[in-house]
A and B are shown apart, each in its own frame.
Chain A
Amino acid sequence: MDIIVPQVGESIVEAEIGQWFKQDGEQVEKDELLLELETEKINVELNADASGKLSILVQEGETVKIGALIGRIDESAAGAEPAEKTEPAVEETVEEKAEGKQGRPETKQAAVTAEPSEPASDQEQPPMNPAVAKLAAERNIDLSTIKGSGRGGRILVDDLPEAGKQPEPAGKAEPETPQPTESSASETGKKDLQDERVERVPMTQIRKKIASRLLKARQETAMLTTFNEIDMSRVISLRNSHKAAFEKKHGVPLGFMSFFVKACAEALKEFAAVNAQIDGDDILYHHYYDIGVAVGSKRGLVVPVIRDADRLHFDDIEKTIRDFAARADSGKLSLDDLTGGTFTISNGGIYGSVLSTPLLNPPQSAILGMHAIQDRAVVVDGEIAIRPMMNIALSYDHRIIDGKEAVSFLKQIKTYIEDPEQMLLEM
């Protein structure tokens, strides 16, 4: 029977013979793919309408009109050479190209399914979201241990454990022995919610921000802490004797904080590095003293900054701190209030802390930690005496502050608080 170029589409009047998938004279089966016709709009595949021996009348690359005769199938020759029909010719040409040599059908078939060579990466890796590979490399995660929660086991970014944690091996974690570690919590998240022994709450934006800042402070600085203790008796008696008059005059009670802010401002003038910060390969020395004061509020810990603390009077400092505390509770602190400090004071004493190491508030290089005042037995002039004592701590970035400077700075604070007259008289 004749092979005719079929009607392909309304406006198409001619076609090009794209590719014959069969050789001239080859035996073809009914419905086997014979050739591809190319037109300006679409390509059309032609299958054999009958079985028989193919004779090709128009070669590849030639242009033919719709309805033109391009080949014949001699049906009388059908089944003449049944042995050759087992392997579809289209695959054969494919494989010959691939192997570059002839071979028996069996071996060719095997070659096709054999291990692929170069692009194995794409083939063997489980499908995953593109960012997964990057994050896994950065967090040192072996992806073969991760069970993907996406379609078809695809690993999503959310399936990766947090930085620094390895996933639980799959199939472990018996419900009888729940481990209260965070990694098991993140691995078996939904189950935990069901058994109500663990509550899963997403971090708020501010908590996330705090978390990343604190982690950064630890990871990107060379932080050390030095300690000292202060005999508070002089400053307490000074405060007690002037408390009422101070409050009457200025309308704010006199607290210890203003003494410490003042002491820090004076000491910072003497130890410039403590008031400095690292910027790239340079050190920025600040010739102003903007001291942040950590304030616990209903909305979490905030650190508003007292500007030019060295030029302020005690009452100004006390008023500023009170104003900050009030605005922190009502959420009215502005970003300007919270940024740009050169040094920070944190008072864990108001919660009863006796000793702790405060964490740097980058890019600042040092932070002073105040603590609770306790009556303790101390030796004064060779005698045991009971004195109101406060431990103080200075955490500092050892990259730009030397141990000697840090210790001396803290000792200067001790001197100013133990002998406030010296500071007040600016001696």
Chain B
Amino acid sequence: MAEQTFELIVIGAGPGGYVAAIRAAQLGLNVALVEKRASLGGVCLNEGCIPSKALLESSEHFFRARHEFAEHGIEVGEAQLNLGQMMERKQAIIKKLTGGIAGLMKKNKISTFQGEAELQAADRVRIKSDSGETELQGKSILLATGSEAIELPHLPFDGEKIINARDALSLSEVPKRLLVVGGGVIGLEMGSVWSRLGAEVTVVEMLPQILPQSDPQLAQMLQRSLKKQGLAILLETRLESIEQIDEGIQAKLSNEKGEQQLVCDKILVATGRRAQSKGLGLENVGLKTNKQGQLEVDEDFQTEVAGIYAIGDLVPGPMLAHKASDEGVVFAERLVGQKPSINYQHIPAVTYTWPEVASVGRSEAGLKADQIPYQAGKFYFAASGRALCNGTSDGFIKVLASPEGGRILGVHIVGPHASELIAEATTVISFGGSVQDLAVTSHAHPTLAEALKEAALAAAGEAIHG
């Protein structure tokens, strides 16, 4: 059994792990990266963020060709779907990006190992793969194994009828009727994809709003828009049981008003994700997870066991790829004595539906709960010249600012390209910027970004076009 020694061993090559590995290597450490998949990039690149965005983009083009081209004066006849080509394109993007990460590992002289890692001691990892076993010795070990989809006890995944988000990215044909359990980010994104491609999609959500973490006004606006696109959304509704019948799967749904039956062909369960630490050998080093299955860490991301660190979905906080990457960088820098830190209030969250939903900073509800005075300013894309030209004028931007200094506390966007617009808001907030800072910053015209400036001005009661 060969044994090699490293200054840092990173377990998991997702957006947390591979970024931490690169940063540590840049800072002069001798780094090993262990990944159980054949390709690097984790869930994000292989079966999450990236493939879903590829399909969202493709399906949006299809939707537009069918429903919106005519309005622009473009006649293309009946648009035809070639799902195989759409999937091939998605696959090519994954291949390109995961290959790119492999290249980055080489460039940074990071030793990569393929196999399942198990902690043997606080400084030792055993890697099992098809080609055998090997052990690595590491001064520090970073756990970045991410998360997995939660399975419902009465609806075990079978990859056919009862599917998870990963399966939903690779269906070989458009299901006629798709039931989505869970009105969160993943459920709505995947529901949107298959709805645009022709499926009859019904989303059931137990809570009184979709995107339960989001501002209720954003959620309502999105819900209205999704409804218009053809998705049925049932709030405060739960899936009680399913039964296989001739016409498909009969799902029994219940809410306050009573029960109803719904027949569908597939059920996508997207009720959330949980930290993935099974098989990692935590028990061998005396590490215990909290109730949510996560590892508690200190500001250096060190677990209760000295020398073992954890980041990303494995530790508390929002389960976001960029949160994991940010933590990876901060972890590596702190490991060598630098002193960066993360302000978790300044991490943006995005839902890539149509319209997109994006938020950063404090929520209105949170400010109210903490009794922090604020002023809200809104700007509707319906008043944005660029949005009207684009034919995408659903939605608005809401800016929450302190009434005294005008400091921007939160920005919430539902609308076209919210995912990109949130970047400016994030920059302003992380610089401690104010309404006045945005007011004196020139915004190109006509752009969607002008809407942020207008919303900020509205918070100060000084909107030009509001």
Can you name 24 A-B pairs with beta carbons within 8 Å? A9-B382, A38-B221, A40-B225, A40-B228, A40-B394, A41-B382, A41-B394, A43-B221, A43-B378, A98-B368, A111-B371, A116-B371, A117-B370, A125-B432, A127-B434, A129-B431, A134-B341, A151-B436, A152-B434, A152-B436, A154-B432, A280-B30, A281-B7, A281-B30
Q: How far is the CB of A179 from chain B (nearest CB, A)?
A: 29
Q: How far is the CB of B357 from chain A (nearest CB, A)?
A: 15
Assess whether B172 is interfacial by the CB under 8 Å rule.
no
User: What 6 A-B pairs come out closest when comparing CB atoms?
Assistant: A127-B432, A137-B339, A42-B380, A41-B382, A134-B340, A138-B339
Please state if B225 and A43 are interface contacts (CB–CB under 8 Å). Answer: no
Q: Which residues of chain B come closer than 8 Å to A170, judged between CB atoms? A: none
Please state if B371 and A98 are interface contacts (CB–CB under 8 Å). Answer: yes
Per the bound structure, the CA–CA distance linking A137 and B431 in Å amounts to 17
Additional 10 contacts, C-beta under 8 A, given A117-B371, A119-B345, A280-B7 = A40-B224, A42-B382, A43-B217, A111-B371, A113-B373, A114-B371, A122-B432, A123-B407, A127-B433, A137-B340
Assess whether B5 is interfacial by the CB under 8 Å rule.
yes
Per the bound structure, the CA–CA distance linking A111 and B373 in Å amounts to 10
Q: How far is the CB of A292 from chain B (nearest CB, A)?
A: 22
Q: How far is the CB of A38 from chain B (nearest CB, A)?
A: 6
A interface vs B, CB < 8 Å? 9, 16, 18, 38, 40-43, 94, 97-99, 111-114, 116-119, 122-123, 125-130, 133-134, 137-138, 151-152, 154, 280-281
Please state if B372 and A116 are interface contacts (CB–CB under 8 Å). Answer: yes
Per the bound structure, the CA–CA distance linking A99 and B368 in Å amounts to 9
Residue in chain A with minimal CB distance to B365:
A97
Q: Which residues of chain B come closer than 8 Å to A94, judged between CB atoms? A: 368
Per the bound structure, the CA–CA distance linking A128 and B431 in Å amounts to 6
Which B369-421 residues have a C-beta within 8 angstroms of A?
369-373, 378, 380, 382-383, 393-394, 396, 402, 405, 407, 409
Assess whether B58 is interfacial by the CB under 8 Å rule.
no
Per the bound structure, the CA–CA distance linking A99 and B366 in Å amounts to 13
Per the bound structure, the CA–CA distance linking A130 and B394 in Å amounts to 33
Q: Which residues of chain A come closer than 8 Å to B407, judged between CB atoms? A: 123, 127
Please state if A118 and B370 are interface contacts (CB–CB under 8 Å). Answer: yes
Over the window 314-345 of chain B, the binary record of Cβ atoms lying under 8 Å from chain A Cβ atoms (1 yes, 0 no) is 00000000000000000000000111110101
Assess whether B112 is interfacial by the CB under 8 Å rule.
no
Please state if B5 and A281 are interface contacts (CB–CB under 8 Å). Answer: yes
Q: Which residues of chain B come closer than 8 Å to A151, judged between CB atoms? A: 436-437
Q: How far is the CB of A109 from chain B (nearest CB, A)?
A: 10
Q: Which residues of chain B come closer than 8 Å to A137, judged between CB atoms? A: 339-341
Q: How far is the CB of A219 from chain B (nearest CB, A)?
A: 11
Q: Which residues of chain A come closer than 8 Å to B339, judged between CB atoms? A: 134, 137-138
Given contacts A42-B382, A130-B430, contact A98 B369 (CB under 8 A): yes
Per the bound structure, the CA–CA distance linking A111 and B370 in Å amounts to 10
Per the bound structure, the CA–CA distance linking A77 and B343 in Å amounts to 53
Residue in chain A with minimal CB distance to B338:
A138
Please state if A38 and B220 are interface contacts (CB–CB under 8 Å). Answer: yes
Per the bound structure, the CA–CA distance linking A113 and B371 in Å amounts to 7
| Interface of A, helix, strand, loop or mixed by DSSP | mixed
B interface vs A, CB < 8 Å? 5, 7, 30, 217, 220-221, 224-225, 228, 337-341, 343, 345, 362, 366, 368-373, 378, 380, 382-383, 393-394, 396, 402, 405, 407, 409, 430-434, 436-437
Please state if B371 and A112 are interface contacts (CB–CB under 8 Å). Answer: yes
Please state if A130 and B431 are interface contacts (CB–CB under 8 Å). Answer: yes
Per the bound structure, the CA–CA distance linking A119 and B228 in Å amounts to 38
Per the bound structure, the CA–CA distance linking A41 and B432 in Å amounts to 31
Pick the residue among B224, B368, B432 that contacts A38 (CB under 8 A): B224
Residue in chain A with minimal CB distance to B405:
A152
Q: Which residues of chain A come closer than 8 Å to B5, judged between CB atoms? A: 281
Question: Of residues B221, B337, B378, B394, which shows the largest number of chain A Cβ atoms within 10 Å of its Cβ?
Answer: B221
Q: How far is the CB of A280 from chain B (nearest CB, A)?
A: 5
Per the bound structure, the CA–CA distance linking A122 and B378 in Å amounts to 23
Q: How far is the CB of B130 from chain A (nearest CB, A)?
A: 30
Q: How far is the CB of B448 from chain A (nearest CB, A)?
A: 15
Question: Of residues B224, B339, B405, which shows the largest number of chain A Cβ atoms within 10 Å of its Cβ?
Answer: B339
Pick the residue among B341, B366, B378, B409 that contacts A133 (CB under 8 A): B341
Q: Which residues of chain A come closer than 8 Å to B340, judged between CB atoms? A: 134, 137
Per the bound structure, the CA–CA distance linking A21 and B100 in Å amounts to 54
Residue in chain B with minimal CB distance to A44:
B380
Residue in chain B with minimal CB distance to A131:
B340
Given contacts A113-B373, A119-B362, contact A127 B7 (CB under 8 A): no
Per the bound structure, the CA–CA distance linking A202 and B224 in Å amounts to 59
Q: Which residues of chain B come closer than 8 Å to A18, judged between CB atoms? A: 220
Q: Which residues of chain B come closer than 8 Å to A16, judged between CB atoms? A: 224
Per the bound structure, the CA–CA distance linking A112 and B367 in Å amounts to 10
Given contacts A130-B431, A154-B432, contact A41 B341 (CB under 8 A): no
Q: Which residues of chain B come closer than 8 Å to A129, judged between CB atoms? A: 431
Q: Which residues of chain B come closer than 8 Å to A134, judged between CB atoms? A: 338-341
Per the bound structure, the CA–CA distance linking A18 and B225 in Å amounts to 15
Q: Which residues of chain A come closer than 8 Å to B430, judged between CB atoms? A: 130
Q: How far is the CB of A103 from chain B (nearest CB, A)?
A: 12
Q: Which residues of chain A come closer than 8 Å to B217, judged between CB atoms? A: 43
Please state if A127 and B372 are interface contacts (CB–CB under 8 Å). Answer: no
Q: Which residues of chain B come closer than 8 Å to A99, judged between CB atoms? A: 371
Q: Which residues of chain B come closer than 8 Å to A113, judged between CB atoms? A: 373
Residue in chain A with minimal CB distance to B427:
A130
Per the bound structure, the CA–CA distance linking A141 and B370 in Å amounts to 30
